[in-house]
Chain A
């Protein structure tokens, strides 16, 4: 198992290097920091633009490979370069990364757990009312883009506020500014702010996982080993839980690896919509400002998160399925 995982890790490292280079090449050639400076009022002199671009490692007259070399050199010392406003990228990064991770982890875990449970339940009750209800619900959720879910929730919260005369559920930011009180008060405040973004993120996951889990569970329901378990004298319920569900969750680990792609995209939307100052909002902002170094840093973050979740999925798969280990 260890050898298997080491091998996977090697592959992921190769992917990471290739991916980061790709991201750098795309960002550095697609974005045009020069236009940002040219558009400044008052317009700076040509030399000063040139000078600033070079000092920020953004000068499009330097070949991309050379710029990438500079950037990699810095990265090896833990330096992510400087933003277009000449502040360290790592400052922004450090501030925003936890905001986003908090949301992404909670959203994906919640979506997965609820989705798996709902899917398994749905499969066992195939074609009954509860299955049909869950199916309809998941279809509607699958057909609604995350940003729309977030907007619906936000509009709902606004309507609730208007109706009640005060804010029922917070729908902007991740904390109440200037909140006084102890740790408990802060935690409660955080949790309350997390509610809507997490739910909008989790709902999509819930729908996908539940459809997929329902499918694998239905496969398992017709399996020979489930019949064996019943032939041994296990009641249907126990056979389902112990032999059926246990085997049917294995494919979910693969799903988990892919789902982080969606979660990240979803997080970009929810953050922007709920006014969170996280990675997603940063991405949109820095693309609009042609801020190459920040964009690359966000790409680096995504790549690491996606590959880490891939590795986690492999570990999970190997832990769940003895056939992979040998």
Chain B
């Protein structure tokens, strides 16, 4: 406790010593990153979610090496077999190993989810920040575009277009999903940019002659980063749900590729009789999205300083709008 002895007034530079660097002598240099991590670790849900995600990734990418069965090759000696030591998740009607299939499908679904979240978040942040920062006609045109794309459920447009994309494969499908998944995020980024633009540090930069694109990249985007991280996290879950739903109805991933959606579609009709064909895939799907949502929620609490933990009734700050996703 050096606190009491700290900083007797220095007669030589009284002004300079008016408030010494650290009145308490406490090492206050704990970075923001560590603070966020500490808060994140304090949230049990987030930790559980993160562990779950890691396990699922390990399963998706390590799983194929654990089983001798290939996801496509049929075993004609075992049709419609329940889970056993040989076929861990059982087999389907043509004797394919359900574990190999599920792991393979999980892999595809995870990759699609990650890529869609990445692309759509980048698109949303660029469009939202530009619309909000430049304002005027650029803003109006971009927001009309956002509203226009929001008139239709993305599902609708994707189903129509995807019938044309038969040959283009799943990457085209990823782009399509990303293309119809950025609008709400862009809106939130825009409104955050609008208020950031009026914040004094942005004004100060403008008055110093800093150029607009530099202001956006150095000041605006870093300050919406925490929202974007949260949103992207939750978007992974949303994208996986969209992917499975579309694939379930035959508009997404198509044979020979498998995803959780195609597996569910294949297993649905037989679910009452051969539940292993349906419930393993369904369970993993729900588990993964749940884990992602838990992490997203934990991140929100950890990154948003106004959310919880603040003991004092603080001045009402424009709280970053809680994000929410449309149900899929």
Q: Which residues of A contact B (CB under 8 A)?
A: 15-16, 18-19, 22-23, 26-27, 30-32, 139-140, 142-148, 151-152, 155, 158-159, 162, 204-205, 207-208, 211-212, 215-216, 219, 222-224, 255, 258-259, 261-266, 268-269, 272, 283-284, 287-288, 290, 295, 298-299, 302-303, 306-307
Contact = CB atoms under 8 A, between A and B. Distances in A.
B245 A145 contact: yes
Interface in B169-200: 184
B319 interface: yes
Interface range on chain B: under 10, 10 to 19, 20 to 34, or 35 or more?
A: 35 or more
A303 B147 CA distance: 11
A215 B151 CA distance: 26
B161 A26 contact: yes
Interface stretch (B30-38, B60-68, B282-290): B282-290
B277 interface: no
Contacts of B325: 208
A37 B276 CA distance: 40
A147 B159 contact: no
Contacts of A152: 282
B148 A211 contact: no
Nearest to B49: A139
A147 B245 contact: yes
B294 interface: yes
B148 A15 contact: yes
Nearest to A227: B313
B237 interface: yes
A145 B156 contact: no
A19 B157 contact: no
Interface of B: 144, 147-148, 150-153, 155-157, 159-161, 163-164, 184, 237, 241, 244-245, 248-249, 251, 264, 268, 271-272, 278, 282, 285-286, 289-290, 292-294, 297, 313, 316, 319, 322, 324-328
A167 B160 CA distance: 36
A155 B274 CA distance: 12
A302 B289 contact: no
Contacts of A144: 286, 289
Contacts of A205: 327
A295 B241 CA distance: 24
A264 B156 CA distance: 9
B96 to A, nearest CB: 21
A124 to B, nearest CB: 16
B293 A139 contact: yes
Contacts of B319: 219
A15 B147 contact: yes
B159 A140 contact: no
A18 B148 contact: yes
Contacts of B292: 143
B159 A283 contact: yes
Contacts of A307: 151
Given A18-B148, A266-B327, A139 B290 contact: yes
A145 to B, nearest CB: 4
Given A259-B326, A283-B159, 9 more contacts: A15-B148, A30-B160, A211-B324, A212-B322, A212-B324, A263-B327, A265-B153, A287-B159, A302-B151
A211 B322 CA distance: 10
A148 B284 CA distance: 12
A64 B122 CA distance: 33
A216 B326 CA distance: 17
Most B CB atoms within 10 A — which of A31, A215, A224, A307?
A215
Most A CB atoms within 10 A — which of B147, B153, B163, B264?
B153
Contacts of A159: 272
Contacts of A302: 151-153, 156
A303 B151 contact: yes
Contacts of A268: 155
A297 B251 CA distance: 20
Nearest to A223: B316
B166 to A, nearest CB: 11
A38 to B, nearest CB: 15
A112 to B, nearest CB: 12
Nearest to A209: B324
Contacts of A283: 156, 159
28 contacts: A15-B147, A23-B152, A23-B157, A30-B161, A30-B164, A31-B160, A145-B241, A145-B244, A145-B289, A146-B245, A147-B245, A148-B264, A151-B264, A151-B268, A151-B282, A155-B272, A204-B327, A205-B327, A222-B313, A258-B150, A261-B326, A262-B153, A262-B326, A265-B155, A265-B327, A299-B156, A302-B156, A303-B152
Contacts of A15: 144, 147-148, 151
